[in-house]
Structure 1
Amino acid sequence: MQAKWIWNGEKESENLYVIARTKFECPSAGTAELLISADSDFAAYLNGKFLGRGQFSDYPEAKTYTRIPVETAAGKNELEIRAYYCGGDFLNHLKGTPRLWAEVRSGDTVLAASGRDWEIAEDPGFRAGPIEKLNPMLGYTWEYDARKNIPVFSAAVELDFEDEPTERPVPMILPGEAIRERTVWHGYFKRREPDAFPGAAMGTDMVAPIFGPFDGTFGELPPDSDGWVLIVDLGRESAGLLHFEVEAAAGTVLDIAHGEHLELGRVLTMSNERVRTYGDRYICREGDNQFTFCFRRYGARYLEMHISNVRGPVRVKSFTLLPTDLKLPVPAEFHTEDRLLETTHRIGIRTLELCMHEHYEDCPWREQSLYGYDSRNQMLFGYYAFGNYDFAAASLKLLGDSMQENGFLNLTAPGDLKVFIPCFTFAWLAALREHELYSGSRDAYLYSREKILASIPQFMARKTAEGLFLPPPDPPGRQTWNFCEWVEGLNGQETSAGDDRVPTAYYNLYLTEALRAVGELEQDEELLKTASELGRRTEAFFWREEEGCYATRPNQEYRHSHIQYLFLALGLVPEGRKQRVIDAASSPRLIGSTYSSYIYMIRAMAACGKIAELDERLRRDFEKMALSGATSFWEVAGGATGFSSYGGSLCHGWSCAGIYFDGAYRLGIMPLEPGFRTFALAVHPAGLSSMSGEVPTPYGPIRIRWKVLDDGTVSVHLRHPAETRPAVIAEGIRLD
């Protein structure tokens, strides 16, 4: 490769936008390809035509390039790259060094390669340097002045980097056709904080709606008002690039907010004492303003625009998102006579799709971050929806690359808030074993194998007299967050002196599962024995005979359903205690589980024969969302109000456990050997009379159709790839 890393030579800062360009000759029109990499993001254009955008979410020390096919013209061609450097640490980004690398190739011929012969300029329209953050997770807000549109170019500076990027593991996503928006309401406002940043200014504006039809044109402002308001509905939860077309006088200010719900008819523009803000700003040039912001995906159903500094009529021709949907396999078929169940299944599929771009993300609105725990859920659910094993492997590797010296993963990958959650590392290890089972490939595990094996002694470095283990102490500059679930007593926020010397059930249970997973991946009998012994000791230590359930901490009165489900799902509960434990888990005297941990609830209840109760629970939780008009599943039962200051996400990947239950239990297909070479068939009708569907495998789908006969027998018609076979068939099933 001939390309060099370049930038503009200015002093490194944060929140920087540049434009780089070069010209090259082609003897005739033809096809070529652009290889491009940036820290942090890019949008590329050839001869004025948009080619693509979106740097893969990689690490500063291990950059990747994107391969983009291009059509070159005969003669002179001009390549322009608009690049953005974030320059901060967030949950979805690690601070690196501002740099750009690009090469245009036609076969073996290099037509253009970034170097000192390129020109580069600061983008004069964007406000650069320190600026308000959306939140600590997602990055910075942006401000753009379209009147400042004449960049001053100079020769690019070659940087002292010798590394060459490698090809990204996940394809680039091209934005789709604009979503057709619908006006919710329009009106005018009085601004109370004219000097505030956009999100705060919008949030404190006093608004007055105008009732009646709206054709997109605002005329003369009412007396004693400061601007216009427009709120649009995209029809459903969406993820994409902000795009609008507005005709206005020069200097007209557009403040733009995005959100998933309306509260008192408005989008949430700020919360948490202004720590979180969802407002950006655009200042119009004279006449037509067509604009697409290419450097951040928006997760939203609603968009809100406040128009100020009005100097004449304003016409809003378009105000929407360009969808950024990952190209996925067609979802596995799922059919039943229960139309509401089919609806919740489809909503689950849609939710998973919205939380997958360059990697799994917890939610498209608030964070867009890759967590070890959240993604383990999303992978497992996705195996029954799409298969998509390579996408899962890419995320597993990204997570592995975040491992710290103490053997634990960062909270997110790539990202850093100087905090990590031990249980999330253990969930990642379980996910590696599940990936092998469903995909048949060990590649994701082998990628991190050496680091994993070296980390296991560190997980067990702090041993108690009872033979249990304690979470690690805070490493230098970082905090150990002993979180497990968003409920009191498990959220790691109720701490007291000496807690770091007291064992918890959840640390030892998740560690047991992780040791078991690695033991199975390694076929290591000693490690499996260690996992078994730890599980036995954990069960004995936390059992409370008088209560008929397990404690969470020995020094705490809290009792949690999730802890009971963990013991049951991991097969640690003696037969004589199972009924008491499963009864306790569903009792109101225990603090209940949230959607994040439902895979354990499903496995525990199914293992105890509580399929009817499990079916009722899942229906109660997710049908109410569907019947309320939700187009994606919420993070927690409270929806937008589930956290303080309306911080709950209305689209969260961990809330799609129904997809897993539908495939693994209703259709009844689970892998026993890697890649479904052998699988179990155990249909659970749960009150339904018939069902048909597919379960993806690496060799093609397993297709199943079943019907409950008059005698209670389940008649099953099964078709499966030749490389797979049912090795275990449950009682009461008759194969036709």
Structure 2
Amino acid sequence: MRISFSPQERRLVPDGFAPFELQPGQKVRFDFQVKRAGLLHMELDGSAAARSQIRYAYTSDERLFPSLYRCFEDEAWVAGRFPAYVRMRPYGQLDQWLSGEEGAYLLEEDLTVLRYLELDNRSSEPLSIRRLWLDYTAAPFQHVGGFECNDDLINECWAMGTYTVELCSQPSKYTQRSLQGPYSDYVIWDGVRRDKDIWGGDLRPASLTALYAFDQPEIVKNTIELLLTLQHTEGEEQGIIPGSGAYGQIFYEWTMWTIVNLWEYVLLTGDLAYLQANVGRLCDVVAWMNKRMESDGLISGLNSWMYSIDARGKISGLAMAQKAAWDALVQMFSLVKHPMQEYCRQQAERTKRSILAQFSVPSNPLLTMIPAGTKDRDRFAIDGNLWAILHDVVDPSRGEQILQEIEKQFWTERGSINVVPVFDEAVDGAWWWDVLPQQSAVWRHNNNIWPYMSAYETLASFHAGRTDRGLEVMRRVGRSHLEQGHKTYWEMMNLDGGLPIGDRGDTLSLTHAWGGTGSYGLQAYVAGIQPLAPGFGNFSVTPSLGSLDWVKAEVPTPHGIIEVEAERTKSGEIRGTVKYPDQTECQVSAGMEKLRG
């Protein structure tokens, strides 16, 4: 039976809740069992004087309560590079709740994100709590896509990925900056608690999971549209797609991934009309890229997604995203028969040549983080190396060598770190950005584990035909979350797998949509369901089970559901069936039987 962490009902009540009286001096903790997001209500009876002396605090992890308690004495306690809680107040007194009808109170008009709620009666009066509930606000998706196999942990990892994306799919009116798109009332955020915003690079992998699992592709289109609508139309950055919806941030890498995101949306949905409507915007981006490219075709960036690492100029991660964007532009211009396609093809090849020339060093298959030899010692970042495999910058032989080297240098029991060798203050000096206090910056990307890159490592392993390696990456990261009671992928983990809590109680996002991409990978690579034409009008099924005994998977398409079952026989062959809609064509690997209709 397929695992799901989505709630069965939209109105949720804490586990075991029953009406009761909270006595003076009594403290009680409620548990919704799984992290949820929505509008939190309480129906109660008590005097205003008592409510002003009854404290509440809520969080998604019990270990964060001490930090919240500190906030009662010091309002500035929870601090960091970004606000730990965006448009949320996770601690306070009951008299701060908003009055409702018939004794019902609403905690906050914006979303409340929590698993645990604690009440502490510091008054001299009892408080009668009649009802407590949360109206779940995540987009009402149907999980028409799915994945199962004989490995229970992998099944939980798939469910974690889809639930993380679901929980980050929220009404657009709750976004930091109200962003109402034309195609849906919902958008996909990167984080449901902290950022509450659309970020281009975060959206790209989350979109793949959403399109392979859920029945509403409109939310992906709507979220992409909001970024495209904010495209800069004047000034030095005319043509760039902003990195974020709320801030309109200039972030070159995220512009590139938004272009890739648009292509993948068109490929998976067949929405050629939307592509045609955006040709002008794409031409504007090409004009911006032409303006920014240096003599070798590479664009120098202002930063990496690893924002606390001082990497500016030519960065391998940005260069790989640039190559992926050129490839996506080739595909899109080809579909609409636009003459720009050949130019983009030439730029894709030029970018590839420059990447290999700029970021390669002798006797090491890994690509450097910044151009080789420009610092006292070369560093190798995991992002550029994984994207080099996924976007065919390196040949299969070198790709295999890169994966082997990542195992040697980047792997830990909990997942892979971002950079080797890690930064050391004594050797490297103050490598963090000047705008960041040392205590807020140095712990975030140096020698820690990010599910964003873990998901890409899973995909790169699958893409290279290393199914078991990709599954092992998923197990390490997924196990770290599940063992601590979390069903959502965090933004970042400490090296030991622990919570990313700073030295002033600030914490990174504990539900970050970009970490769930491995779920898409299980359907697309392990079950092997991939489009060969826009909208799955023609598609292939080539299961790659690794050491798994069997898999079952479903993928939604504009024509209907594709269903795949495959198992390993005693002789080691893969046998199975593919059920697919009448209007489509299917190509299968040996041993797979086609069942149309």
- Identify whether the pair has TM-score above 0.5, normalized to the shorter chain: yes
The residue number in structure 2 matching 1:449 is 279
Say whether the 8 Å CA contact 2:138–2:168 is kept in structure 1.
Answer: no
Partner of residue 268 from structure 1, selected from 68, 83, 94: 68
Q: 1:576 to 1:610 in 2, by over 3 A?
A: closer
- Please state how far the C-alpha of 1:286 moved relative to its aligned partner: 14
Q: Which moved more, 1:516-525 or 1:632-641?
A: 632-641
The residue number in structure 2 matching 1:466 is 296
The residue number in structure 2 matching 1:516 is 327
The residue number in structure 2 matching 1:619 is 475
Q: 1:219 to 1:387 in 2, by over 3 A?
A: closer
- Please state how far the C-alpha of 1:178 moved relative to its aligned partner: 4.0
Q: Which moved more, 1:358-367 or 1:441-450?
A: 441-450
* SS of residue paired to 1:237: strand
* SS of residue paired to 1:701: strand
Superposed counterparts of 1:16-27, under 5 Å: none
* Residue segments in structure 2 that go unaligned for 5+ positions in a row: 1-8, 72-76, 171-185, 335-340, 419-449
- Please state how far the C-alpha of 1:560 moved relative to its aligned partner: 1.6
RMSD: 2.9
Q: Is 1:400 the equivalent of 2:228?
A: yes
The residue number in structure 1 matching 2:535 is 675
Q: Which has the higher contact order (CA 8 A, sep 6+)?
A: 2
Partner of residue 719 from structure 1, selected from 576, 579, 590: 579
CA distance in 2 between partners of 1:281 and 1:537 (Å): 59
* SS of residue paired to 1:328: coil
Say whether the 8 Å CA contact 2:11–2:136 is kept in structure 1.
Answer: yes
The residue number in structure 1 matching 2:164 is 351
CA distance in 1 between partners of 2:132 and 2:456 (Å): 43
Q: Is 1:546 the equivalent of 2:363?
A: yes
Q: 1:603 to 1:624 in 2, by over 3 A?
A: closer
Say whether the 8 Å CA contact 1:433–1:517 is kept in structure 2.
Answer: yes
CA distance in 2 between partners of 1:709 and 1:589 (Å): 35
Instruction: Kindly provide the amino acid, as one letter, of the partner of residue 295 in structure 1.
Output: E
CA distance in 2 between partners of 1:412 and 1:466 (Å): 28
Superposed counterparts of 1:595-674, under 5 Å: 595-598=451-454, 600-638=456-494, 641-644=499-502, 645-674=505-534
CA distance in 1 between partners of 2:456 and 2:23 (Å): 58
Partner of residue 245 from structure 1, selected from 30, 43, 46: 43
CA distance in 2 between partners of 1:580 and 1:325 (Å): 42
Superposed counterparts of 1:285-324, under 5 Å: 289-293=103-107, 295-307=109-121, 310=123, 312-324=125-137
Q: Which moved more, 1:663-672 or 1:531-540?
A: 531-540
More strand by share: 1
Q: 1:565 to 1:250 in 2, by over 3 A?
A: closer
Superposed counterparts of 1:176-191, under 5 Å: 176-181=10-15
- Please state how far the C-alpha of 1:640 moved relative to its aligned partner: 6.7
Say whether the 8 Å CA contact 1:598–1:657 is kept in structure 2.
Answer: no
Q: Which moved more, 1:360-369 or 1:254-263?
A: 254-263
- Please state how far the C-alpha of 1:662 moved relative to its aligned partner: 1.6
CA distance in 2 between partners of 1:723 and 1:307 (Å): 63
Q: Is 1:534 the equivalent of 2:351?
A: yes
Partner of residue 307 from structure 2, selected from 492, 498, 508: 492
More helix by share: 2
CA-to-partner distance for each residue in 1:138-174, whole Å, 9 max, x for gaps?
Answer: xxxxxxxxxxxxxxxxxxxxxxxxxxxxxxxxxxxxx
The residue number in structure 2 matching 1:41 is none
Instruction: Kindly provide the amino acid, as one letter, of the partner of residue 91 in structure 2.
Output: G
Q: 1:589 to 1:612 in 2, by over 3 A?
A: closer
CA distance in 2 between partners of 1:640 and 1:299 (Å): 20
CA-to-partner distance for each residue in 1:379-418, whole Å, 9 max, x for gaps?
Answer: 10112211421111111111111222322333322x12x6
Q: Is 1:425 the equivalent of 2:251?
A: no
Partner of residue 592 from structure 1, selected from 417, 424, 431: 417
CA-to-partner distance for each residue in 1:18-46, whole Å, 9 max, x for gaps?
Answer: xxxxxxxxxxxxxxxxxxxxxxxxxxxxx
The residue number in structure 1 matching 2:58 is 258
Q: 1:646 to 1:376 in 2, by over 3 A?
A: same
Q: 1:627 to 1:686 in 2, by over 3 A?
A: farther
- Please state how far the C-alpha of 1:176 moved relative to its aligned partner: 3.5
CA-to-partner distance for each residue in 1:420-465, whole Å, 9 max, x for gaps?
Answer: 3211111111010000111011344344431221122212323334
Say whether the 8 Å CA contact 1:250–1:287 is kept in structure 2.
Answer: no
CA distance in 2 between partners of 1:545 and 1:601 (Å): 24
- Please state how far the C-alpha of 1:467 moved relative to its aligned partner: 3.6
Q: 1:297 to 1:382 in 2, by over 3 A?
A: same
Partner of residue 95 from structure 2, selected from 283, 296, 318: 283
Say whether the 8 Å CA contact 1:694–1:703 is kept in structure 2.
Answer: yes
CA-to-partner distance for each residue in 1:70-94, whole Å, 9 max, x for gaps?
Answer: xxxxxxxxxxxxxxxxxxxxxxxxx
* SS of residue paired to 1:437: helix
* Residue segments in structure 1 that go unaligned for 5+ positions in a row: 1-174, 184-213, 222-227, 472-479, 485-490
Instruction: Kindly provide the amino acid, as one letter, of the partner of residue 566 in structure 2.
Output: W
- Please state how far the C-alpha of 1:659 moved relative to its aligned partner: 1.3
Partner of residue 218 from structure 1, selected from 9, 22, 25: 22
- Please state how far the C-alpha of 1:551 moved relative to its aligned partner: 0.7
The residue number in structure 2 matching 1:210 is none
The residue number in structure 2 matching 1:96 is none
Partner of residue 195 from structure 2, selected from 358, 367, 384: 367
- Please state how far the C-alpha of 1:238 moved relative to its aligned partner: 0.6
- Please state how far the C-alpha of 1:641 moved relative to its aligned partner: 2.4
Say whether the 8 Å CA contact 1:397–1:448 is kept in structure 2.
Answer: no
Say whether the 8 Å CA contact 2:458–2:474 is kept in structure 1.
Answer: no
The normalised TM-score by structure 2 is 0.77
The residue number in structure 1 matching 2:561 is 701
CA distance in 1 between partners of 2:161 and 2:249 (Å): 30
* SS of residue paired to 2:452: helix
Partner of residue 504 from structure 1, selected from 315, 320, 324: 315
Partner of residue 558 from structure 1, selected from 375, 379, 394: 379
The normalised TM-score by structure 1 is 0.63
CA-to-partner distance for each residue in 1:48-104, whole Å, 9 max, x for gaps?
Answer: xxxxxxxxxxxxxxxxxxxxxxxxxxxxxxxxxxxxxxxxxxxxxxxxxxxxxxxxx
CA distance in 1 between partners of 2:551 and 2:386 (Å): 28
- Please state how far the C-alpha of 1:544 moved relative to its aligned partner: 0.8
Q: 1:615 to 1:330 in 2, by over 3 A?
A: closer
Instruction: Kindly provide the amino acid, as one letter, of the partner of residue 539 in structure 1.
Output: L
Q: 1:640 to 1:259 in 2, by over 3 A?
A: farther
Say whether the 8 Å CA contact 1:716–1:734 is kept in structure 2.
Answer: yes
Q: How much identity, in percent, do the aligned residues show?
A: 19
CA distance in 1 between partners of 2:212 and 2:289 (Å): 31
CA distance in 2 between partners of 1:583 and 1:218 (Å): 58
CA distance in 2 between partners of 1:579 and 1:337 (Å): 27
Q: 1:494 to 1:624 in 2, by over 3 A?
A: closer
- Structure (1 or 2) with the larger CA radius of gyration: 1
Q: Which moved more, 1:585-594 or 1:714-723?
A: 585-594
Instruction: Kindly provide the amino acid, as one letter, of the partner of residue 216 in structure 1.
Output: F
CA distance in 2 between partners of 1:445 and 1:272 (Å): 44
Residue-pair matches, total: 503
Say whether the 8 Å CA contact 2:458–2:471 is kept in structure 1.
Answer: no
* SS of residue paired to 1:322: strand
Q: 1:398 to 1:446 in 2, by over 3 A?
A: farther
